[in-house]
Every structure is written in structure tokens, then in C-alpha cells.
Amino acid sequence: MKIALGADHAGFVDKDRIARMLRDSGHEIMDYGTHDATPVDYPQYGYAVGEAVASGQAERGIVVCGSSLGIAMAANKVPGVRCAPVAEPLSAELARRHNDANVLAVSERLTGWEMLERLVQVFLATPFDGGRHAHRVEQLFEFGDAQRSRTLRDIERGTVSGAETPKEML
Ligand code: RB5
């Protein structure tokens, strides 16, 4: 699989370990840096990995920063990206099965290497379940003007309307 990697100065050590591990198991790695401990701004690395995945140059992306949070927020700004910050394997599995996550965000400062290794393996090996999850995932990319008006109307009314899953999709 073609996998894009990116990290800031608080994540590059684990990013490099992930790169080695994935190359050893036959994956093709696109490494957008950073490559040393010089402080850098995590959004730039989240955007680069996000664009590589959204444009189809990479099939999946993995981003690492101190907490996993900032770089995940950045990756999720790129249209087409579904980035999940994850710290335990069940969330990594559900991010794939239910949300079709195409970018994984992990934390170098809060997550030990053995757990991190497992998160990456689960993220890469787990398929998307599709079915009832598919149209929900599609809605994640419908947050344009029409969706905003609908949501603002819901807020005015004080309740969310029309959110039922169609019967044929259950
Ligand atoms: C860098 O100090 C740290 O803020 C960054 O790696 C990340 O944790 C931000 O969300």
C-alpha cells in the first residue's frame, strides 16, 4: 500500500519508526518530514499528508505529533480526509469499520511504541464495513451552504430533524 507519513518535531521519532516498520513489511512510504527536533508547525505536515491522501497519491496517511490532536485537526481541514486521532486498538478498528478513516493520527508523547505499532497495524488491516455507515460517511463531506442552512434551522428549532437512517440501509 502507498502510505503518506508526516509529523512535527514532537512526533518525528515515532514517524521514522513507523516508516521503517512499514517499509520492512513491503509498503511504499511517502515521508513528508519533519526529520529532526527543530521546532516546526504541525499544521503544514497535517495538510501535506491530507492532500496526498485526498488527491489519491497515497492510499492512506499516518500523522504524528505530541498529542495527535493538532495534526489531526489540520489533516481534517483537507476536503476528502477523514482523520482519526486514536490511542487504543478498538478505536483504530472502529475508525476503519464505521468511519472509513483514511488518515490515522497518533501521539508520540502519550502513547508507547508497542501500542502505537498495534494501532498502525489495525488501521491498515481493517476494512470499511460500508452498509449503514456509507451514507453517514458521505454526509461528512456535505457540509456546504445547504447543509449549514439545514443545521442552523435545526438549531433554531432546538432539535435535529431528518437524521433517521433510511430503512433499506439498516
Ligand atoms: C508541540 O509542542 C505540540 O504542541 C504538538 O506536537 C501537538 O501536540 C499539538 O497538538
Domain span at residue 155 reads 132-160
pLDDT at residue 145 above 90? Answer: no
CA-proximal residue: ligand 1, atom 5 (nearest): 66
Residue 163: predicted pLDDT:
80
The three three-digit cell numbers of residue 5, written as one number:
507519513
Residue 128 CB neighbours (<10 A): 16
Closest CA to 105 of 79, 83, 132: 83
Average pLDDT of the residues of the chain: 95
Q: Known catalytic residues?
A: 65, 98
In this structure, the answer to whether residues 104 and 145 fall within a common structural domain is: no
Q: Is the same domain home to 30 and 74?
A: yes
Give distance in angstroms: CA of 166 to centre of ligand 1: 41
Query: What's the CA-to-centroid distance between 89 and ligand 1, angstroms?
Result: 22
Q: Are residues 11 and 84 in the same domain?
A: yes
140-153 burial by CB neighbour count: b if 16+ within 10 A, else e? eeeeeeeeeeeeee
Q: Give the model's pLDDT for residue 170.
A: 67
Residues 70, 111 within the same domain: yes
Q: Are both 23 and 88 inside the same structural domain?
A: yes
Q: How far is the CA of 127 from the centre of ligand 1 (A)?
A: 30
pLDDT the model gives residue 161: 84
Give me the residue label for grid cell 508547525: 41
The residues lining ligand 1, judged by C-beta closer than 6 Å to any ligand atom, are 8, 10, 42, 65-67, 69-70
pLDDT above 70 as % of the chain: 99
17 vs 141, residue with greater confidence: 17
Residue 81 lies in a domain: yes
Same-domain status, 33 and 92: yes
Instruction: Please check whether residues 141 and 121 belong to one and the same domain.
Output: no
The angle formed by the CA atoms of residues 78, 111 and 93, to the nearest 5 degrees, is 60
Residue 105 lies in a domain: yes
The angle formed by the CA atoms of residues 69, 122 and 141, to the nearest 5 degrees, is 55
Residue 165 belongs to a domain: no
pLDDT in tens, 14-61: 999 999 999 999 999 999 999 999 999 999 999 999 999 999 999 999
- What is the pTM for the complete model shown? 0.93
145/97 same-domain check: no
**CATH number for the domain including 100?**
3.40.1400.10
**Residue 88, pLDDT above cutoff 90:** yes
Round to whole Å and give the CA distance between 167 and 170.
Answer: 5
pLDDT attached to residue 24: 98
Q: How far apart are CA 162 and CA 47, in angstroms?
A: 33
Residues 106, 150, single domain; the answer is no
Are 61 and 137 within one domain? no
CB atoms < 10 A from the CB of 1, how many? 12
How many helices and strands, by DSSP H and E, does the chain display?
Answer: 7, 5
Q: Is residue 168 part of a domain?
A: no
Mean pLDDT of 125-138: 95
Residue 16 placed within a domain: yes
**Element of type H or E holding 81:** none
In angstroms, rounded to a whole number, what is the distance separating the alpha carbons of residues 118 and 136? 27
Residues in a beta bridge with 92: none
- Whether residue 109 is found in the same domain as residue 150: no
Domain count, the chain: 2
